[in-house]
C-alpha cells in the first residue's frame, strides 16, 4: 500500500515537472523577415491598379465582373483592375515560411441607361467611350453608377518543398450613384489538394447588411497547393436597380488562384 502511494506521488511530481515544458500555441514564436504598413486608401490603390503597379506577378489571377439585365438577359463584361501588396513574410517555429499578401480588385460599370441598350451585342466588352464623363482616369470616389471593390487577404505557405496558398479574409463593398442595391451575398472559398488533408473543398457564404463587408476564413481551413488546379478567392453578387427602374445582376469575382 505504501509502495502504491509512493508511485502515485512520484507520477504526480513527474507530471508537475514535465507539463510546463510542452509548448502551448501561445508560446510558439515566429521570426518576422519582412513587414510593412498596408496601403488602404482606395484612391491610391485604384490609381496603382489602373497603372498595373503591383508587387507580385498577377498572371495567374482570375478577375471577372459582369452585369446582366434581368429583363432581357443580356450580359456585359465590366472593366476590372487589380493591385497586390506584400504585407508580411515570416518564418514559423515549425519551419514553415508564410508570405502574406493583400490583393485589391476594382470593377466598374457605366451608367445603366441607353449605353446598355437591348440592341447591344450579348456578352460584349464595354468600351471606355461607353463610360460617359468619368471614364477610367478619374479617382475611385468620382461619380459613377456602381463600382465594386474587394481586398483578398491571402498567403503563400511553404511546407518543405511544397508551395501552398491559403485564404485569410476578405473586405469589400460597393459605391453607388443614382442606383440602389436590392440584395447581395458574398462567397469565399479555397478548393484543391492539400498536404494536410488530401483534397479539400472549403466554401462559405455571407450576407452583408450594408454597402461594406469584412469576413474571415474559418480557422479550420487548410492551405491548398499553389497549382493550376486549386481555386482560391471570393465573389460578390448584388442586384442593382437604376433610376429608370431597370434591374441588373452584378457579379464580381476575384481569384488569386
Per residue in 215-247, pLDDT tens? 999 999 999 998 888 999 999 998 888 777 778
Residue 25 maps to a domain:
no
Distance, in Å, from the CA atom of 66 to the CA atom of 79, rounded to the nearest integer, reads: 9
Residue ranges with strand state E in 39-161: 62-69, 75-77, 79-91, 97-109, 146-159
Distance, in Å, from the CA atom of 88 to the CA atom of 220, rounded to the nearest integer, reads: 22
Residue 40 maps to a domain:
yes
Residue 117 maps to a domain:
yes
Residue 249 maps to a domain:
yes
pLDDT attached to residue 114:
38
For residue 221, the enclosing domain spans 32-255
β-partners of residue 140 are none
Q: Which residues of 82-96 are buried (b: 16+ CB within 10 A; e: fewer)?
A: bbbbbbbbbeeeeee
Grid cell in block for residue 226: 499553389
Question: Does pLDDT of 120 surpass 60?
Answer: no
pTM for the model: 0.76
Residue showing cell 434591374: 247
Residue 172 banded pLDDT, cuts 50, 70, 90:
very high
Cα–Cα–Cα angle for 200, 202, 205, nearest 5°? 170
Residue 57 banded pLDDT, cuts 50, 70, 90:
confident
Residue 11 maps to a domain:
no
Residue 110 banded pLDDT, cuts 50, 70, 90:
low
pLDDT attached to residue 24:
33
Residue showing cell 493550376: 228
* DSSP 8-state code for residue 76: E
State the total domains in the chain.
1
pLDDT attached to residue 210:
85
Residue 161 maps to a domain:
yes
Mean pLDDT on 54-76: 83
Amino acid at each position: 500500500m505504501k509502495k502504491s502511494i509512493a508511485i502515485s506521488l512520484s507520477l504526480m511530481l513527474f507530471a508537475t515537472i514535465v507539463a510546463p515544458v510542452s509548448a502551448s500555441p501561445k508560446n510558439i514564436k515566429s521570426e518576422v523577415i519582412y513587414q510593412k504598413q498596408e496601403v488602404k486608401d482606395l484612391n491610391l490603390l485604384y490609381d496603382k491598379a489602373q497603372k498595373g503597379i503591383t508587387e507580385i506577378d498577377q498572371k495567374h489571377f482570375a478577375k471577372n465582373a459582369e452585369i446582366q439585365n434581368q429583363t432581357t438577359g443580356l450580359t456585359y463584361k465590366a472593366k476590372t483592375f487589380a493591385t497586390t501588396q506584400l504585407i508580411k513574410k515570416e518564418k514559423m517555429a515549425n519551419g514553415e515560411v508564410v508570405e502574406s499578401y493583400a490583393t485589391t480588385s476594382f470593377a466598374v460599370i457605366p451608367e445603366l441607361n441607353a449605353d446598355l441598350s437591348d440592341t447591344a451585342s450579348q456578352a460584349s466588352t464595354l468600351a471606355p467611350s461607353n463610360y460617359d464623363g468619368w471614364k477610367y482616369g478619374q479617382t475611385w470616389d468620382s461619380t459613377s453608377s456602381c463600382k465594386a471593390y474587394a481586398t483578398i487577404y491571402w498567403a503563400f505557405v511553404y511546407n518543405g518543398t511544397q508551395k501552398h496558398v491559403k485564404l485569410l479574409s476578405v473586405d469589400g463593398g460597393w459605391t453607388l450613384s443614382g442606383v440602389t442595391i436590392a440584395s447581395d451575398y458574398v462567397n469565399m472559398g479555397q478548393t484543391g489538394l492539400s498536404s494536410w488533408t488530401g483534397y479539400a473543398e472549403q466554401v462559405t457564404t455571407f450576407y452583408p447588411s450594408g454597402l461594406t463587408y469584412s469576413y474571415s476564413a474559418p480557422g479550420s481551413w487548410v492551405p491548398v497547393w499553389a497549382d493550376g488546379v486549386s481555386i482560391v478567392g471570393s465573389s460578390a453578387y448584388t442586384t442593382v436597380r437604376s433610376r429608370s427602374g431597370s434591374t441588373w445582376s452584378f457579379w464580381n469575382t476575384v481569384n488569386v488562384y
